Chain A
Amino acid sequence: MSFSVHGQAVSRGVVIGRAVVMASSRMDVAHYFIEPEDIGKELRRMANARDAVVTEIELVQRSLTDLPASDAPAELTALLDVHLMLLQDQTLAKGVSDWIVDRHYNAEWALTAQLEVLGRQFDEMEDPYLRERKADLEQVIERMLVVLGGEGVSVFERVPKATIGRSHDRGDLPPALEKALGPDEAAPLILVARDLSPSDLLQFKQSVFAGFVTDVGGKTSHTAIVARGLDIPAVVGARSASQLVKQDDWVIIDGDAGVVLVDPSSALIEEYVFKQREGTLERERLTRLRHTPAVTLDGEAVQLMANIEQPADTDAAIEAGAVGVGLFRSEFLFMGRTGKGQSQLPDEEEQFLAYKAAVEGMHGMPVTIRTIDIGADKPLDRQARGGADDHLNPALGLRAIRWCLAEPAMFVVQLRAILRAAAFGQIDLLIPMLAHVSEIKQTLQLIDRARAQLDAEGQVYGRVRLGAMIEVPAAAMMTNIFLKYFDFLSIGTNDLIQYTLAIDRVDESVSHLYDPWHPAILGLLSQVIKGATAQGKHVSVCGEMAGDVQFTALLLGLGLRNFSMHPTQIPAVKRQILRSNAAQLSAWSEQVLSSDDPHSVPPP
């Protein structure tokens, strides 16, 4: 009978194959009391098991150093180190031996009893990341249980030979799958287990398995991290999958949805065979687009830029084929610095070096640096510490340019650093959250002051283009006034939507009202894009909408020719653009703009 098991979507891709179920070693642990005179013997059994697992991990570690770096994720090396330390930990050893000495439990029972005690303390932890570390403890203990039970070294050696043999027996292959496989190709095998240890995962690439499902694990568990790193379709946290799935069941892993389909119908297999092929082709196609210019079918060129947070992110931007940085969120240089040894804010030199590194990283392509935009969703530690800054809704408070104008000394340091870095390449200076002409004038004065200071000191600096973020509705409604002062505009759709619709982005109870298709939002977008374009000035969108393919056609139709997004989103958006006809979309967007229900207007 077919059924599905839901878990966490942690690693992309589809795989269809036969299940190999690995029973949990903890289920069949022996529980018995030992004779008091055997305590010493039982403690030695425990110590021997521990030493065996230590040797096993050290062997894996040594084999890691021989591997090319790409096959040995750094996470794995560090995790193995943690496992070694846990094995040799005195607190843990004492807890386990107490069960043997005081209660006369056998070694296996003592281990599971102590795991139960510690596991409960992990379960009570508030921090989800720390809570998941229970898995590391479980794995170490499970390895010891395996050794105590005299079983094999690795999970792969515990696979019954008969099962592997059967994968070559194509007798009961579902016809839909048979067509998809080559004539001599065996059906892929899918490992279903309670959990996999790092040493199991390391061997995964060389193993007979094409994907895995585990009962435990979350998005940040090492199983998930390693699966992503090795690019293996996987579902973790599928609760009781290892009990529900039977040996030899046909199984589909849908890694994108985090679903395991067991004993699927032939129609479903056919659908997934198709999906699998599409996925492979899609990845190949997208990689090939990297150097293709983004031009619509009717010859409209579009600039696809990258949003970055650190100078080092320029590597990913170049890799994705970005033609510049459309948004460098400079506030990330200012965040997470609360430490006794470190100064509160980065000084001019540190900022200058960071901006210069970003400019040089883009090899002559423009870099748009947004001045510090500390706000509701990313408070600076200094503000986060509470006290007077503890607003209920800091999104409407003293943030971004408002804070900068209230702290001109700090702001001028940043402006000086940016101007100096501009001597090394094209920098576009972007000011966030402006709403008043008085703010614009004060900002321009401070930029002049920074230049005058640099002149007086004889410092070298470069020319910058000046731009304003359009994210407050007031700014969108006075586009023409903004254009008198600025060379370009950049629309921050996330904040524009939040402010226009009065939706607190961090309040889940109103999140259903956050609607990018709202007629008011589309109206404002259209107004800003058309206003800037009419004056021959650049306008870009750097919010979530820019990187979301469901809005690409709409933004093109509204006349947008400059998108900035996370580097990984560039290839998919580019493909959308290559397939679009801008003139046709422009006509369609007029219909969308005049509709009461814009989302329902069918695309051209």
Chain B
Amino acid sequence: MIQETITISNKLGLHARASAKLTKLAGGFTCDVWMTRNERRINAKSIMGVMMLAAGMGATVEIETDGVDEREAMDGLLALINDKFGEGE
């Protein structure tokens, strides 16, 4: 299992479209993907869960991947968040 902490840096935070991108990416891996913020732990493969994290710009979230492709999943998710979900701001 891998754990990483990251700050959401895009202007709109984990809004609907960003949540959709994240959920789709997470759903493509076989490992389990969990995200935690303010003691709320959700399945990152569920868009409902990700939206419920209410992670706005500047929010710190913890990502947990567990399974065969946990490294690739973690790298992919960190890259997506660092890239501001491709929104450019």
A residues lining the B interface (CB < 8 Å):
78-79, 81-82, 85-86, 89-92, 118, 121, 125-127, 129-130, 133, 136-137, 336, 338-342, 381
Given A86-B47, A92-B48: A129 and B13 interface contact (C-beta under 8 Å):
yes
- Centre residue among A126, A336, A341 by max chain B CB count within 10 A: A336
B residues lining the A interface (CB < 8 Å):
6-7, 9-17, 19-20, 23-24, 42-43, 45-49, 51-52, 54-57, 78-79, 81-84, 89
Given A92-B48, A127-B54, A339-B82: A79 and B6 interface contact (C-beta under 8 Å):
no
Contact assessment for A339 and B83 in the assembled complex, using a CB-CB cutoff below 8 Å:
yes
Q: What is the interface of chain A mostly: helix, strand, loop, or mixed?
A: helix
- Excluding A92-B46, A339-B84, A341-B82, 19 further A-B contacts by CB distance (< 8 Å) are A79-B16, A82-B16, A85-B20, A90-B46, A91-B42, A91-B43, A91-B46, A91-B48, A91-B49, A118-B48, A127-B56, A336-B11, A339-B81, A339-B82, A340-B6, A341-B78, A341-B79, A341-B83, A381-B9
Residue of A nearest to B79 (CB): A341
Contact assessment for A82 and B7 in the assembled complex, using a CB-CB cutoff below 8 Å:
no
B9's contact among A90, A92, A339, by CB below 8 Å, is which?
A339
How distant is the Cα of A572 from the Cα of B76 in the complex, in angstroms?
48
Q: Which residues of A contact B57 (CB under 8 A)?
A: 127
Given A82-B47, A85-B47, A339-B83: A118 and B16 interface contact (C-beta under 8 Å):
no
Contact assessment for B54 and A130 in the assembled complex, using a CB-CB cutoff below 8 Å:
yes
Given A336-B9, A339-B84, A341-B83: A129 and B15 interface contact (C-beta under 8 Å):
yes
Q: Which residues of A contact B81 (CB under 8 A)?
A: 339
Q: Which residues of A contact B83 (CB under 8 A)?
A: 339, 341
List 17 A-B residue pairs with CB atoms under 8 Å apart, sorted by A's residue number: A79-B17, A81-B20, A82-B47, A85-B20, A85-B23, A85-B24, A86-B48, A127-B56, A129-B13, A130-B51, A133-B15, A137-B48, A336-B11, A339-B9, A339-B82, A340-B82, A381-B9
How distant is the Cα of A118 from the Cα of B47 in the complex, in angstroms?
13
CB distance from A167 to the nearest CB of B (A): 36
Contact assessment for A129 and B52 in the assembled complex, using a CB-CB cutoff below 8 Å:
no
CB distance from B41 to the nearest CB of A (A): 12
Q: What is the interface of chain B mostly: helix, strand, loop, or mixed?
A: mixed
- Centre residue among B13, B51, B54, B56 by max chain A CB count within 10 A: B51
CB distance from B2 to the nearest CB of A (A): 15
Contact assessment for B20 and A82 in the assembled complex, using a CB-CB cutoff below 8 Å:
yes
Q: Which residues of A contact B46 (CB under 8 A)?
A: 89-92
The 6 closest A-B pairs by CB, nearest first: A127-B56, A339-B82, A91-B46, A125-B54, A91-B48, A341-B82
Residue of B nearest to A92 (CB): B48
Q: Which residues of A contact B15 (CB under 8 A)?
A: 129-130, 133
A133's contact among B10, B16, B82, by CB below 8 Å, is which?
B16
CB distance from A331 to the nearest CB of B (A): 13
Given A82-B47, A341-B82: A118 and B52 interface contact (C-beta under 8 Å):
yes
Q: Which residues of A contact B78 (CB under 8 A)?
A: 340-341
Q: Which residues of B contact A338 (CB under 8 A)?
A: 7, 9
How distant is the Cα of A90 from the Cα of B84 in the complex, in angstroms?
26
CB distance from B18 to the nearest CB of A (A): 10
Given A81-B20, A85-B23, A338-B7: A130 and B14 interface contact (C-beta under 8 Å):
yes
Residue of B nearest to A130 (CB): B54
How distant is the Cα of A127 from the Cα of B16 in the complex, in angstroms?
13
- Centre residue among B10, B13, B48, B82 by max chain A CB count within 10 A: B48
Contact assessment for A336 and B89 in the assembled complex, using a CB-CB cutoff below 8 Å:
yes
Contact assessment for A126 and B54 in the assembled complex, using a CB-CB cutoff below 8 Å:
yes
Q: Which residues of B contact A336 (CB under 8 A)?
A: 9-11, 84, 89
Q: Which residues of A contact B23 (CB under 8 A)?
A: 85
Residue of B nearest to A121 (CB): B52
Q: Which residues of A contact B51 (CB under 8 A)?
A: 130, 133
Residue of A nearest to B47 (CB): A85
Q: Which residues of B contact A85 (CB under 8 A)?
A: 20, 23-24, 47
CB distance from A389 to the nearest CB of B (A): 15
Q: Which residues of B contact A81 (CB under 8 A)?
A: 17, 20
CB distance from A583 to the nearest CB of B (A): 46
Contact assessment for A129 and B56 in the assembled complex, using a CB-CB cutoff below 8 Å:
yes
Residue of B nearest to A79 (CB): B16
How distant is the Cα of A243 from the Cα of B42 in the complex, in angstroms?
38
How distant is the Cα of A85 from the Cα of B54 in the complex, in angstroms?
18
CB distance from B64 to the nearest CB of A (A): 17
CB distance from A98 to the nearest CB of B (A): 14
CB distance from A130 to the nearest CB of B (A): 5
How distant is the Cα of A91 from the Cα of B16 in the complex, in angstroms?
16
Residue of B nearest to A341 (CB): B82
